[in-house]
Amino acid sequence: MGRLKLQSGIKAIEEEPEECESTSSNKATLACMINSEVGAVLAVMRRNVRWGGRYMSGDDQLEHSLIQSLKALRKQIFSWQHQWHAINPAVYLQPFLDVIRSDETGAPITGVALSSVYKILTLDILCLNTVNVEDAMHLVVDAVTSCRFEVTDPASEELVLMKILQVLLACMKSKVSVMLSNQHVCTIVNTCFRIVHQAATKSELLQRIARHAMHELVRCIFSHLPDVGNTEHALVNRGSSVKLEGIGHDTEYSFGNKQLENGNGGSEYDGQPSSVGFASNSSTGLVASVLDENTIGAGNGKEATPYDLHLMTEPYGVPCMVEIFHFLCSLLNVVEHMEMGPRSNAIAFDEDVPLFALGLINSAIELGGPSIRRHPRLLSLIQDELFRNLMQFGLSMSPLILSMVCSIVLNLYQHLRTELKLQLEAFFSCVILRLAQSRYGASYQQQEVAMEALVDFCRQKTFMVEMYANLDCDITCSNVFEDLANLLSKSAFPVNCPLSAMHILALDGLIAVIQGMAERIGNGSLGSEQSPVNLEEYTPFWMVKCDNYSDPSVWVPFVCRRKYIKRRLMIGADHFNRDPKKGLEFLQGTHLLPEKLDPQSVACFFRYTAGLDKNLVGDFLGNHDEFCVQVLHEFAGTFDFQDMNLDTALRLFLETFRLPGESQKIQRVLEAFSERYYEQSPQILANKDAALLLSYSLIMLNTDQHNVQVKKKMTEDDFIRNNRHINGGNDLPRDFLTELYHSICKNEIRTTPEQGSGFPEMTPSRWIDLMHKSKKTAQFIVADSRAFLDHDMFAIMSGPTIAAISVVFDHAEHEEVYQTCIDGFLAVAKISACHHLEDVLDDLVVSLCKFTTLLNPSSVEEPVLAFGDDSKARMATVTVFTIANRYGDYIRTGWRNILDCILRLHKLGLLPARVASDAADDSELSADPGQGKPITNSLSSAHMPSIGTPRRSSGLMGRFSQLLSLDTEEPRSQPTEQQLAAHQRTLQTIQKCHIDSIFTESKFLQSDSLLQLARALIWAAGRPQKGNSSPEDEDTAVFCLELLIAITLNNRDRIKLLWQGVYEHISNIVHSTVMPCALVEKAVFGLLRICQRLLPYKENLADELLRSLQLVLKLDARVADAYCEQITQEVSRLVKANATHIRSQMGWRTITSLLSITARHPEASEAGFDALLFIMSDGAHLLPANYVLCVDAARQFAESRVGQAERSVRALDLMSGSVVCLSQWAREAKEAMAEEEISKMYQDIGEMWLRLVQGLRKVCLDQREEVRNHALVSLQRCLSGVEGFQLPHSLWLQCFDMVIFTMLDDLLDIAQGHSQKDYRNMEGTLSLAMKLLSKVFLQLLNELAQLTTFCKLWLGVLSRMEKYMKVKVKGKRTEKLPELVPELLKNTLLVMKARGVLVQRSALGGDSLWELTWLHANNIAPSLQSEVFPDLQGLEQKKDETGKSLVSDETGSAPSNETVA
């Protein structure tokens, strides 16, 4: 039970283990060795008169028994036949041990005997197989710890003490040490400690050796703890069962009952040799008394149960470790008695003993480690006694002690944190947070040690997460994570002082925490995935429990919920402190209190919420209102007073609120307290009234003792007298009352507890409460390497962290500090991005941009060189752009600051000439190899010199050449080597920034970020002003516009997102520019380029893109004129590349408008017509949507006098050729469409045809004869080429009215009104027009004849013929028309007659058509009637022949019919 597993071996042994079986030669060697040791002891003894002169004859005994036994061993030693392990070690050890025990031997003899035993132990003669080895080891330990010798001189005494240490240590390190019992191990440690204590009056060397031996022992013993079986439960039970019947008294196993009696009470060195036990308590006073009380095995005070005899004699294990650990802890209690006695020894107690004890405890914990948790008694020692002492020593003035305490706590955190949740909270709140700030009066050294310790904790990757999850998210604990993070960031701030080591230390801690978070990012489970907490209904917040603390999917939501509740409670507390009623209403609104308040929930709010005003709570609890009284009793019910002293319980109770001043309120409060106390700790008290009276009495005593106005203080007897007969009529035990009296006198009960803020001291009563709470507190959550809570933690600490790192970076002067800060900045950026904390990232960018020095108004003469010399600025610049490139997705408003830096670099000429456009061009080339090249070339600055101000030489080398060039006024000296180096550094920095990739890689940015980048570019470009702006502003605006266009082109898939802003920006530029300049040039061509590139990909946006080109139409006339040719080329290119992607009428309207404008521009018209030709020739890209628009554009080109008449003719051919498309559409409609759609389509085609012929009609009036006549021919072709589709009669009537008749009338007006200079050869045109009329009329005769309005139409034809017959050109009658018109009329009449349209009807009313015809015809040619109707004079046969010949003539005279069809 509790013994070592023998086979596991002992780690502490350094010698190589040997086999126990030795060869015969080996046997002889060992025999010789022991023989020589016997000889050595005898030799020293012979030197002494006492031993050397005993050879008197006649004596019964010739020699002393010590010498005899040694000589007897000598005789036997060579005659043993057995192997060494078969020989009982006692045989060859006993003679030496007798010498050691004897008080007759002097120090030199004892010393040699000890050396001999040491040699035997280290020779490996003993092994686990040796006979009776256990008894032999016990003999050795008993003998050495009972060592007696005569003191002859101090030096030899010290030597013996050192050898005792040596032998005891060898026993523990020997491989047979496992045979030692618990009792013997305790004795060994006790003996060593006594030597440590004695050494205080001896030499420094002995002190050091003794302490070292003690350390080695503790290490040796506790290194076996992991090997000990888990049998603690059995031990505890047996211990408790034996307690009463044990041996009689607890100190059975202490030194006192071994043969370690004091010698003769002192060691005199007056030449009188006196026999002393080496461990004499020669030094009186504190240490001796404490040691007697605290010897190992003396029982662990009232809580501990001493182990029984059986266990103590078992092979050593946990029992001795518990005893030793308890002993070490009790050494720390020594300090409490420090002032009670004189210090006669040399140990500086205030620092030395605690340091020694703490060092031993630290070793024990380091080696015992996580195994301690398997042994409840060891664990409870650490949880209570050790930690209580650590809290006390933590506030020691000694930096050494504080440092050791912190090391122990760090070890405990590593190994046992799950068992020490509240203890760790108390340590950080009451020690680290108090000491690390100067306001609590700590020295600089203390602050530094506390800060170093905190930074060590921060370097444990999961420390801060565990503090947050276990403490900050627990309503009953303080916000340790938040307090520590604030402490670190405040401590890193140099306020009105230079940067010190402390600032850097705090910064290291902060950055360690941040980098821990950054490292966790790759491990999945980002906290941002947590759904927000929302309390839908009331559940008691103090009852929230977690089902599984080891499964993150369960505990993470639980912890987040608990933190949400805690935050809400804090807000509620804030409201409560302003107005209690509103505070409770707020909490009801957030479902933390029920809609109908109940006493328990309000009591728990008061009990568990930090930051409440304790005066208000006291008033509420003392109120006589029934609800308040119920709350008071529930409030008292939340306390655990189990096994607690009355004064401790009262202190804890009154710490939570301020006791009201009125006696009735005090009575109510104390009644509730007494009831609860009596319920839980009724041991001495008879009833709750006794508890109430005694509580009152304590409050009065407290006032009496600690109120300065009370002059006559109550004595102990007064107090006891006052409390007679209160315990159910009996007296309370006097010692009970005495203890209470002294407790109150020494330590005031504060009835006005400090308000919330600040870090409290750890009082004994608070510690007792903490131990009670720790039994009920929620399980400790162990965090792993995943980022479950980092989002919330980072949100809390990001602001102060960025501020702190920035301030240190600002004040720092060393490269390594810069680098630390930069690492911190990058970690902050990474976390902000991965947890989607855009605001934090923006703040970081703003902060960093200030350090680039690029935004400072440049007062430096040579900013490039200054930048090259400033490593901080260069590092900041690289960091800003690293963040922009890596984490651009999550930058929002920060883009503005980044752009300010880019613009500054641009102004300094440090950027490549075309950061952005290169990027856009490259992607363009790769995206569209066929057309990439020409587009790139046409848009590059080489092919489009801007008309604005000449650009300065930019680009890296340009700037460098400026540096080397001579100044205009005075010759500049050659740059120095330093200047060249600085310039080189600047260039390298800019290269490292990869500024161009921000824009080239913008296609990978998240939408929100991309939008903000675009807005920032627009903002940086500034609003264009009407009139002249400075060249520098224009340069900036052009640069920003280039970048904006580049990101637009790079993000064609998300053009919708950007388009509105880009369009408005370009629109502003266009509307505000009145003179040609680089900016408007960039804007217009950028717009055209965007359209060119995006039309193929974004058909749904085609209309919007094309509508934007209307901006070009709004350009100021001077600007438009300057760029007209290039614009047209671009539009032409756009059309050729994207004609198939333009579908809508609106889009085509924009395109044709742009092309139409060029018709009258000398340089641009060629390119414009080229584009139109591309669209219209062979109807390649004609659509119902663009037909009318294209026809109209072609008409404008036909009418344009710019360029050759030949182009106008080609334009007319395009118009007339387009009729084929109409026929084709009609055919396709007939084949593919439903009946309704066909009629609709025919109607549309009819309208398009009408617009076509109307357009041609206008060109028929052109001044140029060639164009005019060609237009007539084209019109005739269009009018007669409609066989492919049926036009309604109404449309033909419209056509005659609006086109043919109007044209004839207009031509007549022109012929009669204009001089021949403007219009040449009008007669030919009129003839063509007349023929056109006749042919079209005859072609349509059959259809038209059916109409009711035929008479009116025929009248129109006749009247025009009549007018043309009489027309005068230049005041003269024409030659051709008088011949042509009668001929055409005659032809027409013959056809009408042949088709039966014109016949004489003998009706009553007469025949209006017949009469009308002859009325006009006779005016034109009186002989016509007889020619056409000779039968009226009997010439029938002739009529028939003439009719046939004329009909055939008519059809033959209109070749256009066949050609058009």
For residues 948 and 1334, what is the distance between their CA atoms, to the nearest angstrom?
A: 61
SS (H, E, C) 1272-1333: HHHHHHHHHCCCCCCCCHHHHHHHHHHHHHHHHHHHHHHHHHCCCCCCCCHHHHHHHHHHHH
In the Cβ-directed half-sphere of 848, how many Cα atoms lie within 13 Å?
31
Tokens of residue 559, six digits: 């912890």
Residues 6 or more apart whose Cβ sits within 8 Å of residue 638: 603, 604, 607
pLDDT of 52? 66
Distances (CA, A) of 794 to 98, 517, 835: 71, 8, 9
Is residue 155 exposed (0-12), middle (13-18) or buried (19+ Cβ within 10 Å)?
Answer: exposed
Q: pLDDT per residue over 767-788, tens digit each? A: 988 998 998 888 999 998 888 8
pLDDT range class, residue 1413, cuts 50, 70, 90: confident
The yes-or-no verdict on residue 766 having pLDDT over 80 is yes
pLDDT range class, residue 18, cuts 50, 70, 90: very low
pLDDT of 1393? 86
pLDDT range class, residue 612, cuts 50, 70, 90: very high
Q: How many CB atoms lie within 10 A of CB 1146?
A: 16
pLDDT range class, residue 14, cuts 50, 70, 90: very low
For residues 1440 and 1394, what is the distance between their CA atoms, to the nearest angstrom?
A: 9
SS (H, E, C) 787-834: CCCHHHHHHHHHHHHHHHHHHHHHHCCCHHHHHHHHHHHHHHHHHHHH
Mean pLDDT, rounded, for 921-950: 36
Q: pLDDT per residue over 335-361, tens digit each? A: 554 433 333 333 345 688 899 999 999
> 101-105, 122-126, 142-146 — which is least confidently predicted?
122-126
pLDDT of 934? 34
Higher-confidence position of 264 and 563: 563
CB 393 within 8 A of CB 354: yes
Phi, psi of 941 (to 5 degrees): -65, -25
Find the helix or strand (DSSP H, E) in which 491 lies.
Answer: helix 480-492
pLDDT of 616? 93
Hey, CA dihedral for 428, 432, 437, 438, is it positive or negative? positive
Residues 6 or more apart whose Cβ sits within 8 Å of residue 350: 335, 338, 398
pLDDT of 985? 92
Mean pLDDT, rounded, for 479-486: 95
For residues 918 and 286, what is the distance between their CA atoms, to the nearest angstrom?
A: 87
Tokens of residue 1347, six digits: 């109409």
The yes-or-no verdict on residue 1405 having pLDDT over 50 is no
The yes-or-no verdict on residue 53 having pLDDT over 60 is no
Mean pLDDT, rounded, for 877-906: 94
Please name the residue that has the structure tokens 């742009």.
1154
Catalytic residue among 268, 662, 754, 1206: 662
pLDDT range class, residue 425, cuts 50, 70, 90: very high
Residues 6 or more apart whose Cβ sits within 8 Å of residue 788: 465, 525, 527, 552, 556
Q: pLDDT per residue over 183-197, tens digit each? A: 999 999 999 999 999
Q: pLDDT per residue over 492-511, tens digit each? A: 988 888 899 999 999 999 99
> 48-52, 241-245, 276-280, 1053-1057 — which is least confidently predicted?
241-245
Tokens of residue 1019, six digits: 């903002």
Mean pLDDT, rounded, for 620-645: 92
pLDDT range class, residue 324, cuts 50, 70, 90: very high
Phi, psi of 244 (to 5 degrees): -80, -40
Higher-confidence position of 1318 and 399: 399
Mean pLDDT, rounded, for 70-76: 89
16 tagged catalytic: no
pLDDT range class, residue 939, cuts 50, 70, 90: very low
- Helix ranges (DSSP H) in 1139-1164: 1145-1158
For residues 357 and 361, what is the distance between their CA atoms, to the nearest angstrom?
A: 6
For residues 91 and 1031, what is the distance between their CA atoms, to the nearest angstrom?
A: 111
Phi, psi of 1369 (to 5 degrees): -105, 130
Q: pLDDT per residue over 497-548, tens digit each? A: 889 999 999 999 999 999 999 999 877 655 445 567 777 778 888 888 888 8
Of 563, 577, 571, the C-alpha closest to 532 is 563
Find the helix or strand (DSSP H, E) in which 150 lies.
Answer: strand 148-151
For residues 351 and 396, what is the distance between their CA atoms, to the nearest angstrom?
A: 9
The yes-or-no verdict on residue 925 having pLDDT over 50 is no
pLDDT of 653? 92
Global pTM reads 0.78
Tokens of residue 564, six digits: 């949400």
Mean pLDDT, rounded, for 890-900: 94
Q: Is residue 660 classed as helix, strand or coil in its secondary structure?
A: coil
- Name the average pLDDT for the chain: 81
For residues 268 and 275, what is the distance between their CA atoms, to the nearest angstrom?
A: 10
pLDDT of 525? 58
Q: pLDDT per residue over 1276-1319, tens digit each? A: 888 887 776 778 888 888 888 899 989 988 888 888 876 556 78
pLDDT of 780? 94
Q: pLDDT per residue over 247-300, tens digit each? A: 223 323 333 323 333 333 333 333 333 344 443 333 323 333 334 444 454 444
pLDDT range class, residue 301, cuts 50, 70, 90: very low
The yes-or-no verdict on residue 418 having pLDDT over 90 is yes
Mean pLDDT, rounded, for 161-165: 95
Mean pLDDT, rounded, for 1095-1120: 86
pLDDT of 259? 32
pLDDT of 875? 94
Q: pLDDT per residue over 957-985, tens digit each? A: 444 444 444 344 445 568 888 888 999 99
Q: Give me the DSSP letters along 666-714.
A: HHHHHHHHHHHHHHH--SS-SSHHHHHHHHHHHHHHHHHHH-TT--SPP
pLDDT range class, residue 48, cuts 50, 70, 90: confident
SS (H, E, C) 713-762: CCCHHHHHHHCCCCECCECCCHHHHHHHHHHHHHCCCCCCCCCCCCCCCC
> 201-210, 327-336, 661-670, 769-778 — which is least confidently predicted?
327-336
